[in-house]
Amino acid sequence: MPVRHVVVSAHNGVHARPVAELVRLAQAHELPVTLRTSDGTTVDLRSVLAVMDLALAPGDEVLLETAPSATSESVLAQLARVLAPDA
């Protein structure tokens, strides 16, 4: 299963605009994409409310995961850029 470890570096954390971008990217991918926090909380990235409830802040470590497909690595890279634009 393709995974990507990301340390959130967005200066203001993950607020409404980045969450909307994450959800848009995840919904465009035909397969489910999940985000797991360091405390083990796992959410479906296609749910705005679930992602907003995480209140991700700079320095938080997350794991992005999706099922294998031809576009998995590309989608994970795009999602990682939203969470860590400085990386």
CA dist 14 and 17 (Å) reads: 8
CA dist 42 and 61 (Å) reads: 13
For this structure, is 29 an active site residue?
no
For residue 61, give the 3-state DSSP assignment: strand
State the catalytic residue, choosing from 5, 11, 15, 29.
15
For residue 53, give the 3-state DSSP assignment: helix
Strands 61-66 and 42-44: unpaired
Residues annotated catalytic, as ranges: 15
